[in-house]
Amino acid sequence: MTHLMKIVLCGDGGVGKTALRERYLGRGFQSKYMMTIGADFALKEATIDGKAIKFQIWDLAGQQRFGAVRSVYYLGCLGALLLFDVTRQESFENLQLWIKEIFNHNGKGVIPLVVLGNKVDLRDSGAHPDSITDEIALRYCEKLTEQTKNHGFSVKYLQTSAKSGLNISESFDVLGKVYFEYLE
């Protein structure tokens, strides 16, 4: 039996949602920024802990002006990869707004989340001394877990780089594992 899991990729514009998805689908990395208009969609099958899963991946536009359009795409969503750019403080601070939007519009309330600190290749270059550290992101996820644990899951954090491929497929695997735990 294959589990179908509709997921959303969320976060501010320019945090790397589309680059992450494209890398996961095996299409490599493009450094040129192309804004997503509304939403984009892809399917990918995987096996997690011996269970077949088909991810229905919705890549949602991050710009505020697409907020009204976005709400439609959350309906029936079973999980989310929540991205921020480790070199942009504001994209980290806005995670709470994204979580609220996801939980308010999916039709189920609180659903599994994995937080991804993307573009770690830029942070590690030393060019962004005010970057969000893994410690800050982990503390944030621990606080979120206090709110989600009575819903049957904890919020995981991974650092990612769509450019280098760091933790890209692991991100989807972790979300799948959290979802299977949540189902049990």
Walk along the chain (184 residues) and give the pLDDT tens digit of each residue. Answer: 999 999 999 999 999 999 999 999 988 766 665 555 556 789 999 999 999 999 999 988 766 655 666 778 889 999 999 999 999 999 999 999 999 999 999 999 999 999 999 999 998 777 888 899 999 999 999 999 999 999 999 999 999 999 999 999 999 999 999 999 998 8
Tokens of 23: 């890398």
Q: Who contacts 120 (Cβ-Cβ below 8 Å, separation ≥6)?
A: 86, 159, 160, 161, 166
DSSP state of 132: P
Q: Are 95 and 82 in contact (CB under 8 A)?
A: yes
Q: Who contacts 60 (Cβ-Cβ below 8 Å, separation ≥6)?
A: 8, 9, 10, 17, 36, 38, 39, 66, 70, 73
Q: What's the predicted TM-score (pTM) here?
A: 0.92
What is d(CA 118, CA 19) in angstroms, rounded to the nearest whole number?
Answer: 10
